Amino acid sequence: MSNAWLKYDEKETQACMDFNKDYMAFISKCKTERVCVKESIRIAQEAGYKDFKEMMEKGESLKPQDKIYYNMMNKSLVLMHVGSDPLEKGMNLLGAHVDSPRMDLKQHPLYEKDGLAYLDTHYYGGIKKYQWVTIPLALYGVVCKKDGSVVDICIGDEEDDPVFVVSDLLIHLASKQMQQTASEVVTGENLNVTFGSIPVKDEEKEPVKKNILALLKKKYDIEEDDFLSAEIEVVPAGKARNCGLDESMILGYGHDDRICAYPSLMAQLEMKEVARTCVTLLVDKEEIGSVGATGMHSRFFENFIAEVFNALGDYSEIKVRRAFQNSHMLSSDVCAAHDPNYPEVTSDRNMGAFGEGLAICKYTGSRGKSGCNDASAEFLAKLRKIFDGNDVSWQTSELGKVDAGGGGTIAYIMGNYGMNVVDAGVPVHNMHAPNELCSKADIYEAYKGYIAFLKECK
């Protein structure tokens, strides 16, 4: 393994920088799974992908080289390029998730206390809660009203927008707080977003809250009860930024896992004509266990494949099962990069490092590989040949020392179908923090690796 930057000539260095410029624009705009799906559909449509739901409603059939997408509840997305080989012979799949750790508004979020209006939240995914105080925050989401209309919410990322914040105790009064453990310094119930402070005149009861409700009505035509059918996420405000004097890295929110979702999407769109069907999955709910209708534990993808067989005029239950078992997949998810500031948790010789390319994690899990996929040696040998033959910089990685922690991805879920699956993604610092850090070279090499996999894995 060697640093990918060392092999680049001037042309490829520029190609790397250009790809990452587009990626930075993507994650700066796509801070929630809903926005990711909406933007990915727009990009896919420009590349010739058609809405498979509309095709099914019209009774249209499919044929080899058709390009389709399937939108699952605006939170997960399937992109498929139908190959010339029979689908039962299997697919090449890339699977990333587009949800990220954040805070969600509760069902009754708005309240007033001691002259300030707040939003009550529940955090989503694994976070260090103390990292989310005192930083500028934005609100994204939807409010679905009883009349069927949907109001899009996006406040905090435009130049003239207000931002929001979770307050912290000033250092002058924090002597007891400073003696607490990191998990106790800020509790989940204290992640309350400061939302306003101007009271309505001549109003004795909750005057600040009433002013906020009036503003929500005026700007968005939202009533307080409409929060009952809303999904509003609290995320860091601001765009992704170049990091380092050499601009070799990116600091931004949501690298986990849009740093793999974007290269997967772009690799999928690079396919011109394929023998083996190529699929990219961009899914929701990975950060909380891949549960629910839009998570990978749902059967929406399995149902989609059955519908594809039907549209091809070739449906049978046994062929659907064969298609899954004969498939190969890269579970495109991030891994922890070696951080020289914290070597005590690093697994010597077995941690991904910045600049060394796409990271292959044979297994994740914790406590004796519990909950992991553990890819086969035969599949890894196949990938080694593909990556080396296409000048893809790649490395192997783990999630740290054996008893230091652990984690999981969607790999084991797809492995349940009997297909070959391995985790392959980009190493990241500050994972699950409001701002994560990564190497541009690793993102670019992931993109190259995903293209090579889709084209050549058999």
Query: What are the residue boundaries of the structural domains of the chain, listed by start?
Result: 4-100+253-456, 102-236
Q: Please state, in angstroms and rounded to a whole number, the distance separating the CA atoms of residues 170 and 156.
A: 24
Q: What is the pTM of this model?
A: 0.95
Question: What is the pLDDT, as a whole number, of residue 1?
Answer: 60
Q: Which CATH topology does 102-236 take?
A: Aminopeptidase i, Domain 2 (2.30.250)
Q: What percent of the chain has pLDDT over 90?
A: 89
CATH number of 4-100+253-456: 3.40.630.10
- 46 pLDDT above the threshold of 90: yes
Whether 372 shows a pLDDT value over 90: the answer reads no
Q: What is the 3-state secondary structure (H, E, C) of 281-311?
A: EEECCHHHCCCCCCCCCCCHHHHHHHHHHHH
Q: Is 324 left (phi over 0), alpha (psi -120 to 50) or beta?
A: alpha
Higher pLDDT, 5 or 350: 5
Q: Which helix (H) or strand (E) holds 92?
A: strand 91-97
Nearest to 255 by CA among 398, 409, 97: 97
- With beta carbons less than 8 A apart as the criterion, state whether 275 and 266 touch: no
Helix (H) or strand (E) holding 280: strand 277-283
* 298 pLDDT above the threshold of 70: yes
Burial of 270 (C-beta count, 10 Å sphere; 0-12/13-18/19+): middle
Asked whether the predicted pLDDT for residue 405 surpasses 80, the reply is no
User: Distance (Å, rounded) from C-alpha 186 to C-alpha 43?
Assistant: 40
